Structure 1
Amino acid sequence: MTRLLSLLGGIAGFYRGNTAGIVGSTLVALILAMCLAAPALTGYDPDKRVARGHQPPSAEHVMGTTRAGKDIWSQALYGGRVSLMVAFAAATVTSIIALAVGVSSGYFGGRTDEIMMAVTNVMLVFPQLPLLIILAAFLGNVGPFIIALILGLTSWPWGARVMRSQTLAIRKKEFITAAEIMGEAKWRIIVIEIMPNLISLAAGMFVGTALYAIGAQAGLEFLGLGDPTVTSWGTMLYWAQSSAAFFVGAWWDFIVPGTFIALVGGGLALINISIDQISNPKLKTGSYLRTWRKLNAEVEAKRQEA
């Protein structure tokens, strides 16, 4: 119960006066809730023809229809489930690998550090976007799971280097030395002593990867490298350009999925900015900046008195 209250207090503290975090979280949560509640918000099957092709928005089809006569609103909601699943799955894979590699490399050092950083540096040599395109093209029309896996397995190197750098700094702290002298197991030191100090960095990495994955998945599917039979925001854009929606005036065909991608991307970006402001006092703005300056002034005053 105490841990739960502490967690809730930490969440409340994060959002207190944090306008960017509140707006970003609200956007993402609202769209996620809409996608999960798709059966209640639309009565159409996203994969079935329900009307004439390229029918403009109306009372019956609030976002219009595709060239194939499918309801765009239902496609956007059900497709959002797939796109968000890919984004969060890719972010999870990336975060796990980056934390494992970065923390192990920074804490154990020596041969472990050399091998892991050598692999990381090799991965960093390859430009990520061309690598994604080549892998997706080589594997053929890949489904959402494979896209999430590809994104997760190619996005971890930068995060691993950041985690290693921070772990090297934490490793020199007195409480780590004390834990080692007391004979605590290395895994316990990593989990109990080091990992909690990496939460803000890990959260920022997770959100940043999810933001990147939303755009990358849409880009790959727009290029025809995904599975066009699976409805997602990316495949909606693919079918919109395949049916020349822009040239025939069916603006709703690409505006709807594009807007959903932009809103989720904007929300994740705002959350990422707010995490940076919380973890780095020099980036704080508004009320946070005033609070930080006040605390800094108090610390300086106490130093002078001492």
Structure 2
Amino acid sequence: MARLRRPKFLRNGKATAGALILLFFFILAVIGSWIAPYSPDATGPDAVVGPSGAHWFGTDQLGRDIYSQLLVGTRGVIVVGFAAGVIATVLSLVIGIASGYLPGRGGEALSVISNVFLVLPALPLLIIITSATPKDGGWIVILTIGLTSWAWNARLLRAQTLSLRRRDYVEAARATGESTWRIIAFEILPNLTAIIASGFVGTVVFTILSEITLAFVGINVSEWNWGTVLYWAQSQDALAQNAWWWFVPAGMAIALLGTGLALLNFGIDEFVNPRLRSGGRARVRTRAGRRLRMRVGFTPVLATVEEGEAR
């Protein structure tokens, strides 16, 4: 019987650990509200009581179960973080690559837009917008964070696209009459995989921290997430009451999720970059006169390696 083998990407220890941590939180986001022993808003007689068999993570000032609050709040963190991360990544891809490849005023106009959003103070802008909008849904927060978090990645993609657009395989595709969007999609985009993946993970981390920060300062506290737990702990002086169980579990959850995203980012980097996998010790071995085909892009570019160049 054939033995099942893990995909090459998951053979990387960092990627495997990061993927398992993310899978754990994704499962909690799906089933958290089902397995929570109490409603996060249900009050009780035991106020500010430490961990026990009845309340694993203790209770808050109204006797509400903190463990249930964390379980139910996981869904808001994951949904808002990844949805806003997808929006910001798509915007950075479209604007960053287009501004780096398109000539003339079109590319310059997109670059100016990126520069404008880059200098905007993101967190104060988020606070102003979300505090002035209705608090009855998470999509306002998702759109606000996603539309204000793409500029930095767009600048990185633009800089890399400017470097790639004069490469031989791009010139070869242009010479054969390929359309602009085909060149971008099949010649330039595959070479930006590591930057896109890293930018997406970084954006998700930023959006999660932004959402938690908004809840921590008292904005959008109508829906439970980890920042809401920290908001109530801070507003009720949990530290002064030595109620460590009120804020430590939420902080540990934030740190663990951030660690999982960072490990996944490192694993993706090593998977798409052979130099990181081989530690920079990879050598090219070939014979004189052998014709090599470049592996970047889809348009083949043939070159002849002279004797001594591969040594």
Provide TM-score, normalisation by structure 2. 0.83
Stretch deviating more after TM superposition (153-162 or 51-60): 51-60
- What does 1:20-31 correspond to in 2, within 5 Å? 20-31=14-25
SS in structure 2 opposite 1:296?
coil
Letter in 1 for 2:308: Q
SS in structure 2 opposite 1:58?
coil
2: CA distance between counterparts of 1:134 and 1:25? 35
Letter in 1 for 2:215: E
Corresponding residue for residue 100 of structure 1: 94
- What does 1:130-149 correspond to in 2, within 5 Å? 130-139=124-133, 141=135, 143-149=137-143
- Residue correspondences, number: 290
Maintained 8 Å contact 1:44/1:50: no
CA distance change for structure 1 residues 216 and 305 in 2, over 3 Å: closer, same or farther?
Answer: closer
Corresponding residue for residue 155 of structure 1: 149
Corresponding residue for residue 249 of structure 1: 242
Stretch deviating more after TM superposition (179-188 or 208-217): 179-188
2: CA distance between counterparts of 1:86 and 1:207? 14
Residue 50 (structure 1) shift: 4.8
Residue 244 (structure 1) shift: 1.9
Stretch deviating more after TM superposition (197-206 or 92-101): 197-206
1: CA distance between counterparts of 2:270 and 2:121? 29
Residue 115 (structure 1) shift: 0.5
Post-superposition CA distance 1:204-224 (Å, at most 9, x none): 111111111121211121111
Corresponding residue for residue 3 of structure 1: none
Residue 300 (structure 1) shift: 11
CA distance change for structure 1 residues 34 and 239 in 2, over 3 Å: closer, same or farther?
Answer: same
Corresponding residue for residue 53 of structure 1: 47
Corresponding residue for residue 213 of structure 1: 207
Give the number of the structure whose alpha-carbon radius of gyration is greater. Answer: 2
Maintained 8 Å contact 1:95/1:205: yes
Post-superposition CA distance 1:128-166 (Å, at most 9, x none): 333333333444757532222222111111111111122
Maintained 8 Å contact 1:46/1:75: yes
Q: Gaps spanning 5+ residues in structure 2: where?
A: 289-304
1: CA distance between counterparts of 2:95 and 2:269? 22
Corresponding residue for residue 304 of structure 1: 308
Residue 289 (structure 1) shift: 4.0
Select which of 9, 12, 15 maps to 1:14.
9
Letter in 1 for 2:283: N
Letter in 2 for 1:273: F
Residue 281 (structure 1) shift: 5.6
Residue 279 (structure 1) shift: 4.4
Post-superposition CA distance 1:223-250 (Å, at most 9, x none): 112x222111111111111222222222
Q: Percent identity?
A: 39
Corresponding residue for residue 296 of structure 2: none
Letter in 2 for 1:79: G
Residue 45 (structure 1) shift: 1.8
Stretch deviating more after TM superposition (50-59 or 240-249): 50-59
2: CA distance between counterparts of 1:237 and 1:143? 20
Query: Do residues 41 (structure 1) and 28 (structure 2) align?
Result: no
SS in structure 2 opposite 1:304?
coil
Query: Do residues 127 (structure 1) and 104 (structure 2) align?
Result: no
